[in-house]
Structure 1
């Protein structure tokens, strides 16, 4: 009698993770808490599960181990007791810090930059995105090669006894530098192809959606263009620029969705994704989408504007769209006489309008609240720009 075995597929077990950060004098405890919440979300997006958080107040991070010796011992005791798989630091670690921490903890260690690079690698779908991510990963890895060869470092000294570690490192460095050059050339070719495509799109006004990651840009694109771009409640769900032709009241224009920005976006990623961000640089109008339900949305606005400044894209008409008003919860502030005051959406709307020249729209993309007001404002700005740019165009829209 034969036995039947039932094979069940099980999902891979999520890696257990702890988060570590240093609170310096210019960072408040609330800011540190908000940053750690974002880091937690990054870990979830990468498929990990946060089991603990360690913070330390220092005037500046320790040169050798980022955190102090006592804190590192505390972390090691917790890691060993709870069998933690991964330790993630909320700042970029130097190669020596990374090596020292891994030696002490004997566990895998990532910093914020390497975690973001891992998420980008998971979400890259097209040849361009994969090339950009691989380039950023290699540029990040290059100065950190030594930690990969620690098992070869301690060789017997003396003449003629030079260890193989250094030779292997130099060999790998040359291989990586050659690969970086190859990827840069490949991106130049892709960039030329994309530039030709952009030129072939004709005389239509180009509008780009920009904003912090996970603010609802893809939802707005789908809502206006009636397309089906991927929407997920994850950071960096969209890496590739998506362009759609949209028509409002017979006026056609091109609307593009771009990669989301984030605080402390690794420099290598900004450099690698500059060809993708050309869609932002070459746009005529920017729609800056803000998640007004997020308690730190004003910090997000600053982070996005800093990135736009880095890529020379701040000199354009901007429509600020405060999305997710259906999820907005009025924060409580202390008034002049010590009383608690709730800041309603109308209060914020009035104060924003009074201190900013850019037009602002308050909507909910998922609930389609104020959608018509948004379309009317968009049509007004695009129509005015079109008439100014093509005064002799007699086409009727």
Structure 2
């Protein structure tokens, strides 16, 4: 069943092979070995050709021998991944990212000028600039801590949430166009161009690139009237990013972003199905809650590994704050881009001020709640074991095969054994 599901999504296997090559080169330096890996596909092709010449195999493509071409593809892709990673290891600087960062910084400086006219405190201005433009230079450390304690630090990092909000607003804004093929493609091109302008101006963060690629693939499929698969789209975007820069794999934003989306794709429909909600007024909040729970479930271990804390009030804060941010992001961007003499400009500015003030007030109120967060440190081994336990247990629930449950319990036993050793035998 699992193999069939993977076969339906052609980008998953190349992604796993590419990640394997990155890890091999990053930790073992396999450049010389990768050169020998290229020889094996050549030998496979040579022996296959000789078999055809000798008459032992049919001259046309034999479906039963497709494993040979699979092996050729695997070895070549693994070798290219190792060589690509080695190439990036030898580069001291990344001119593409330097250029993008410079352009983003210049654009942000121009767009930040209207912020001086806002009737907000410096902390509120910095929050607005961070959420809408990704400008974090003026952010106070205490404000960052408050967002982290309340479990909404993702609002301060331009991520898939921000890009999805911008994409949704653009689609809504362009929905007035006729439904003909010409205008459908015009809407597609305008949405993609403006979407990537937002990704660039906000600093080209890994999570924003992931969201931009996924939405580009999704919109392309929808424009072509093709079905899209969330898992395959996720794998395709990750593969493209890692081919461009293999060291995205070690970026915290990349890891958190993909784990969150993967958890949402798998867990959110199952969580939502636990309770049947027919009232539309309750269905929307329940959907938001299940999305939050799914994302939190997938990223908790990684957050404990990197940040060593976990918010206990994230369920109470995510729903109202993401609701406010859904309106603040497009309203703030429109306000920044509009000229001062545009009709209704002052009312839009007042709206932005009120939402920004309310958002920060909620964050500060929940950050002062006693026990809003607790600190807990785990190492890399515990993180890997935790995700392994969760993975094999989910496989058991899906397939009902006892061997997956056995592996999950074995990893759990190993984890407990490691904790006991650390607790009683370390000084």
- Pair in the same fold by TM > 0.5: no
**TM-score per shorter chain, which class?**
under 0.3
TM-score by length of 1: 0.27
TM-score (norm 2): 0.25
Higher relative contact order (CA 8 A, sep 6+): 2
